């Protein structure tokens, strides 16, 4: 049975699932869909065409689905899609997509968004990610599964962050971070593999192969794409393949120190 405060404002047309909790002074738009078991705490606002999955916990004063902060936005039909089992903390701001980015912002499942996190328009976030306090994703950013962004870190628009990557707190990232890697600094550069994260999820053999591939790609002083292609020809490890393919497909470049 849903628990909805009589002081919440829920527009006609909103779809509310089973066992949903909505606190006082919340606003739920007519185009919203709230999945079973989701809890929305007092003062939070769900705007526009926003679909929220099951068992999410949205803490107080979050603003979810308000118009994208893009001067080109002219009221088009856009949406925000959020998966299941996410924790969205206080004063977070999530924007929907824009016409120029496909019209959708898409958030996966089992993510933690700490206080004051901003998710810009047309962003794609995978599953099991952590964004610490005041991390900021500009428009069109993509994050793979299990990625971690430290607090007070802005991410430039169109940046791609691979799976299991980590960007340290108080960094400023303007280029792509490959999967399994760690970046730090302003502007952020690669500092090695995200070994702490990898040890939690990967086998030792996989980590050893990634270490070798990282040295070849980013520390040997040879052309990056040439080495990536060479590694792809001889490796059967899917994680190394993922790392090499990312290096070949990057559009904003990878921030690492070139050695001569």
Active-site residue set: 121-122, 139
Alpha-carbon gap, residue 260 to 253, rounded angstroms = 18
Are the C-beta atoms of 215 and 192 separated by less than 8 Å?
no
For the chain, where are the alpha helices, taking DSSP H only? 195-201, 204-218, 224-234, 238-249
Phi, psi of 171, deg, nearest 5:
-90, 175
Structure token digits, residue 139? 């428009």
Report in angstroms the alpha-carbon separations of 107 from 83, 174, 236, 258.
6, 21, 31, 34
Nearest to 2 by CA among 42, 39, 49, 52: 39
Alpha-carbon gap, residue 96 to 70, rounded angstroms = 11
Are the C-beta atoms of 146 and 129 separated by less than 8 Å?
yes
β-sheet bridge partners, residue 9: 27
Buried b (16+ CB within 10 A) or exposed e, 92-110: bbbbbbbeebebbbbbbbb
Alpha-carbon gap, residue 210 to 237, rounded angstroms = 9
Q: Distance from first CA to last CA of the chain, Å, rounded?
A: 66
Alpha-carbon gap, residue 141 to 156, rounded angstroms = 7
């Amino acid at each position: 049975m849903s628990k909805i405060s009589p002081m919440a404002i829920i527009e006609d047309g909103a779809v509310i699932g089973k066992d949903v909790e909505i606190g006082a002074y919340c606003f739920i738009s007519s185009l919203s869909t709230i999945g079973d078991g989701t809890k929305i705490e007092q003062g939070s606002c769900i705007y526009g065409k926003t679909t929220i999955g099951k068992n999410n916990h949205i803490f107080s004063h979050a603003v979810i689905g308000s118009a994208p902060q893009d001067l080109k936005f002219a009221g088009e039909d856009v949406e925000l899609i959020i998966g299941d089992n996410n924790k969205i903390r206080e004063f977070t701001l999530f924007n929907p997509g824009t016409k120029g980015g496909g019209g959708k912002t898409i958030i996966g499942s089992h993510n933690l968004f700490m206080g004051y996190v901003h998710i810009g328009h047309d962003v794609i976030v995978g599953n099991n990610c952590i964004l610490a306090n005041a991390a900021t994703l500009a428009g069109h950013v993509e994050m793979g599964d299990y990625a971690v962004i430290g607090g007070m870190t802005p991410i430039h628009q169109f940046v791609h962050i691979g799976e299991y990557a980590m960007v340290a707190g108080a960094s400023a990232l303007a280029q792509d971070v490959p999967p399994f890697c760690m970046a730090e600094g302003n502007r952020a550069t690669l500092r090695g593999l995200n070994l702490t994260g990898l040890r939690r999820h990967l086998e030792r053999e996989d980590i050893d192969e990634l270490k070798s591939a990282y040295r070849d790609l980013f520390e040997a002083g040879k052309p990056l794409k040439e080495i990536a292609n060479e590694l792809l020809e001889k490796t059967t490890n899917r994680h190394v393949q993922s790392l090499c393919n990312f290096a070949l497909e990057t559009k904003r470049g990878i921030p690492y120190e070139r050695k001569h």
